[in-house]
Structure formats: structure tokens, C-alpha cells
């Protein structure tokens, strides 16, 4: 009887890595949407400015979430 090779390749730590990347993506998306909505609708900024701020601060949020997930 042979074992299934995919079980060996997955390893025990793969589930934690998937949760980590999912957390980082959700953190990035939530921050970008929040900043876009804040800029666009509350501060009445232009679309280009709102998208730029959402992209920049979403990237910062991704970096922060990545550093926190590696603690």
C-alpha cells in the first residue's frame, strides 16, 4: 500500500500560511476601501486622488499585516 504523495507535499505548516495570506489580503482590502470611501465621499476628493491614496495606504496596510503575521 502506497501513501498519497500530495499529503506529504502539503506539510503541516501550509494551513497556517494560507490563513496568513488571507488575513493580509483582507487587511489590505479593508484599508483600501475605507480610505477610498473616506477620501471620495467625506472629503470630496477627486477619483484619481482617492484611488491613489487607497493604493498607497492599502500597500502600507499590507506591509503592516505581513510584519504582524511573522511575529
Q: Where are the domains of the chain?
A: 37-71
Please identify every stretch of the chain with a pLDDT value under 70, giving residue numbers as ranges.
1-16, 18
pLDDT of res. 19: 81
* Residue 30 parent element (H or E): helix 14-37
d(CA 63, CA 40) in angstroms, rounded, equals: 24
Q: pLDDT for 6-24, tens place per residue?
A: 555 555 555 667 688 999 9
* Residue 36 parent element (H or E): helix 14-37
pLDDT of res. 70: 86
pLDDT of res. 49: 97
pLDDT of res. 54: 97
Amino acid at each position: 500500500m502506497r501513501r498519497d504523495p500530495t499529503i506529504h507535499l502539503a506539510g503541516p505548516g501550509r494551513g497556517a500560511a494560507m490563513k496568513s495570506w488571507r488575513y493580509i489580503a483582507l487587511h489590505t482590502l479593508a484599508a483600501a476601501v475605507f480610505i477610498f470611501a473616506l477620501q471620495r465621499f467625506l472629503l470630496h476628493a477627486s477619483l484619481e486622488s482617492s484611488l491613489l491614496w487607497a493604493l498607497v495606504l492599502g500597500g502600507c496596510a499590507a506591509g503592516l499585516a505581513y510584519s504582524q503575521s511573522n511575529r
